[in-house]
Amino acid sequence: MASSLTLPSLQLQFPSQRSSKISWRPSTHRLIVRPMRASVSEKSSVPPPPVTTTMATPEPTKLPIREVPGDYGLPSVGPIKDRNDFFYNQGREEFFKSRVQKYQSTVFRTNMPPGPFISSNPKVIALLDAKSFPVLFDVSKVEKKDLFTGTYMPSTELTGGYRILSYLDPSEPNHSKLKKLLFFMLQSSRDRVIPEFHTSFTELFETIEKELTSKGKAGFNDPNDQASFNFLGRSFYGTNPADTKLGTDGPSLIGKWVLIQLGPILTLGLPRAVEEPLLHTFPLPPLLVEGGYHKLYDFFYESSTSVLDEAEKMGISREEACHNLLFATCFNSFGGMKILFPNIIKRLAVAGIKLHTQLAEEVRSVVKNNGGKLTMAATEQMPLVKSVVYEALRIEPPVPFQYGKAKSDFVIESHDAAFKIKEGEMLFGYQPFATKDPKIFDQPEEFVADRFLGEEGEKLLKYVLWSNGPETESPTLGNKQCAGKDFVVFVSRLFVVEWFRRYDSFEAESTVSPLGDLVLVDGCNLNIVCIWLVKRNDIIFAGILA
């Protein structure tokens, strides 16, 4: 995933007084389970791009120059007030919306959590539109050093004492070497991606179906986590984690390790009096996850011999390389799949049977015309699948926050005005506002499956920004765009393809409450494929296999 914060959905915010309904009802369509073959008839190349300068941002036009509105409040008091608004009084979406309305501007000053006493300087200039946001990708204008998690940085004790690639600015010598190593890892694993994805996610489907048959319901998230981690071990390193000392512990160990790092910007739904001192005032000690991290490290060290050999040729120690491989695989790649796949399913479930039918027809006809085999070339012939994945990344990007510190004075533009930015000021972007900018997208809050089809649809891809850069740009050694950008998009397509080669349709019903997503299930007919229920961030299947 991107070289910016990649696990936002661990931010388990529970709305205080809101509810929303998703019309999920039992499907009368039968579950069709077909045997599946997967092979790679050609190599999927992920060449390490050359060192280039970052994308250029447009020169300011003759928009009126405004002072950046907003203020930071009194020292300590202002940041704590904003933190409470962000987590408890308003919630994330309303926090930003209310300030846009107050200042009549999508660019304004505010404080971002965690603030005292974890962050020494929580002051930021927020960029909440599609025009101003891309400056955060322009490393000629902004520095990205130690900004992966925002206005604070977790202890390097959580990463073996090393500043990991995600925290490095492209100007630092180690950045190019470590990113080049990730390009090598992606290249060397290319032939394993499709077959190992099929193997791992067939196991997921079989687990769910077995649970459905025996118990009438089954959880999605835990099997998805296990399948995702197994796939990454098998495809990147040629090792099935379950066959090692790590066993099936990987996902749970990763979850605890990530929590320690992201605790200051998470809310777990605990009472404010408990959560504020526990998560937001002082960092949790790395000692809490030291044993689990060592267990993960041992797995990666023993499994990634060929990649570590290449690292030594590049002048990177095996130890530093291994910590970076662990972070890239567990925090970035696994974290992305853990978030993105349930979000895709959630969106598809709401979209309904018409879209399901179209996807199933597209997937099955292309695979049939390809001799029954699934290849990279075949996925390129599935425009609706591609559009669905892009739309999922647009409407609910797995990377909501980006940061950058101004390297010099410059002028930034929103749609309506221009603003003078001074050297050293911290810029912050909340991506869901930029990717749902109503001046760019029609029906910006709606999941429109075919949004990116055709020539006009493709023009909108430059506003899909999940990877710490536009979808139309590529990661290079000289920028901070996600090294695995194309890999993430491709495996997300594979997920949709695998799903609709196997199943026809599904529906469910869910409401949101302060305790998470509570589930209501109506009726249970013999022909039900599955009813999907959402609880907190977990998708649960319930039903009877036809």
CA atoms of 149 and 136, how far apart (whole Å): 14
Peptide bond into 113 cis (omega under 30): no
H or E element at residue 110: strand 107-111
- Bridge partners for 285 per DSSP: none
Helices (H) and strands (E) in the chain, counts: 17, 14
Q: What angle separates helix 485-502 from helix 353-369, to the nearest 10 degrees?
A: 100
Start-end of H helices in 88-156: 92-103
- Gyration radius of the chain's alpha carbons: 23
**Overall size of the chain counted in residues:** 546
CA atoms of 221 and 233, how far apart (whole Å): 18
Q: Contact 24/508 with Cβ under 8 angstroms?
A: yes
CA atoms of 108 and 257, how far apart (whole Å): 34
CA atoms of 22 and 321, how far apart (whole Å): 45
Q: Please, is 145 exposed, middle or buried when counting C-beta atoms within 10 Å of its C-beta (0-12, 13-18, 19+)?
A: middle
Angle at 225 between CA 452 and CA 525, to 5 degrees: 75
CA atoms of 461 and 473, how far apart (whole Å): 10
322 is in an annotated binding site: no
Per-residue tokens: 490? 């491709």
CA atoms of 256 and 197, how far apart (whole Å): 25
Enumerate the known binding-site residues for heme.
482
